[in-house]
Structure formats: structure tokens, C-alpha cells
Amino acid sequence: LSSDAFRQRFRNITKKQGSTYSESAYKLKVNLVEWMKGANAFGNCDKALEVVALEQFSSKLSEPMKLWIQDRAGVETVQAAADLADEYASCRGERDEVPPAKAGDKGKPWTAKQGDGAGMTAQKKTDCASSGQGSQNKQEGKVSGDSSKKSPFEARKPPTCYKCKEEGHIAIGCRRPRPALSYTTDSATSEELLSPYLFNLTVNGKPCRVLRDSGATMDLVHPDYVAQADYKGKCAWIKPILEDGSICLPVARVIITGPFGEVETEAAVSDKMEAFAFR
């Protein structure tokens, strides 16, 4: 059993019919000892005093305040409980349930102790009613005025896709097609860097610029240089450099003609090629 269970037994011990006073006293002391042991106060006079004082103090508190203090950790002294009670009262505005009686109210019936409220004249009641109505109207106007000003925390932003940067959806539901290949910018700097690898050759009888020694495992060609009869009826999986996954491209027969002669090979066909017709 918990220390609180022994405390309740200690407080509720009564002499049962047929038992002796010695038996009741024995049970009383046993429950007191177990209560102090559970509270780690057995054999410690100062700690035992704090336990008893804390119990008496808690018994005079309202039920919500007492439960709130019991939920706090480390409340082992009556002073700690008193500090928490003051904090609870200041935050929740709790007041004494029964106001202290005035010196002149002793011996008067309850209805006569209600102060000036029971003896107010009709004019005073009317003034209080009108004053209360005016303050209520002001309060309602303030609330309605505040409600028109929405806090930035109240307005929810629509979801934004991190892929296409558009609002209204997230990346998992994005329908914008992802680029299959990384584009090469047709600038003077790019031309200068790639000039050692650019050649003017003929692909399937059409002149075009060819990028050689690009490090790719398979050639790529633009569909403008491929006739319908050149398609082989199979596909190749190509993984672009800047993409996570691979893409499937059709494969066609290609004949390349240059200073080295004529070479027949296979190339994947992609319409994403802009700067070069063949790689």
C-alpha cells in the first residue's frame, strides 16, 4: 500500500464493537509508522513534522487546487505547497469560497449579510444594469474588432511542392514531368570548354554537331536524325547525371560518317537534346 493509504487508515481508525482499546491503539500506531516509512520520515523528527503539516494544509485547500499541487513533483514541505497554492490562485484567480464574516454581521440572518445588494434602491439597480450593459457592448465591440484582424498564426499557408515550387500540392502528388536529361547551355563558355570534343560529322546522311568522348556508356541522338525504319524495336535504360532514377529511351540504328570513315552503331533516341544532335 502507498503512504497515503496508510495515512487514511490512520485517520479513520475507530474502535470496533467487541474489540479492545488496546487493539485500536496498536492499529493506530502501526498505520502511523507505515505512513511515516512510506513518506521517508520515520525516525526523522523534522521530516515527520513536515509530513503532518503538509497533510493538514492540503486538507484545507479546494479539490482542484489540491489535485494540481499533488501532480507537481518535489512537494515535500508545507512551504513548497504554499508557494504552489499562491501560484495557482494568481494564475486561475481562485478566491476563498466563503468570504470572512464582518464584525457587524454576527447574529444576522444570511439574507441580511449580502451587503448593499439586498438594500439597494431601484435607481441604483437601474444604474448598475445600464453600466453593465454598456461595458458588455464595449466588450462585444472589442471582440468583433479583434476578430477582423487575423493573426498571422491563424492563416494557414497552402502546401508548396518542393519540386516545381508551385502551391496547392506536395511533391508526392506533383504531375509536372521531370526533365529526363540535363541540358547543356549554348554559351560561349560552354563552347570553349567543349571545343576539343566537338566535331562536324554526318549522322544518317544529315550534317550535325557531334560531341565525342563524353564518357557516356551509350550514344544519344535527336529524333530528327532518325527515320522510322531505323528504330530497332527495343529500349535502353539511361540514367541522367542529375536524376535519381533511370529513363527508358527507344534505340535506333545510326550511321556516322566523318574523316575516320563510316561507322554503324546503335543510339538511344531522345528529344531533350538541344545543344548537340549526337553525343
- The domain that holds 263 is classified in CATH as 2.40.70.10
Where is average pLDDT lowest: 18-22, 52-56, 133-137? 133-137
Q: CA-to-CA distance for 214 and 230, rounded, in angstroms?
A: 24
What pLDDT is stored for residue 212 in this prediction? Answer: 73
For residue 67, the tally of other CB atoms under 10 A from its CB is: 11
The reported pLDDT for the residue numbered 110 is 45
pLDDT at 81 over 50: yes
Give pTM, 2 decimals.
0.32
Residue 63 lies in a domain: yes
- Residue 115: the pLDDT is 47
Locate 53 and state its grid cell.
503539516
The values of phi and psi at residue 200, to 5°, are -95, 105
Gyration radius of the chain's alpha carbons: 45
Give the integer Cα–Cα distance in Å for 55 and 66: 11
- Classify residue 148: in a domain, yes or no: no
> Could you give the number of structural domains in the chain?
2
Residue 236 φ then ψ, to 5°: -135, 140
Domain span at residue 30 reads 3-92
Q: Say if CB 81 and CB 55 are below 8 A apart.
A: no
Among the candidates 74, 92, 110, a domain finishes at: 92
Q: Is the pLDDT of residue 251 over 50?
A: yes
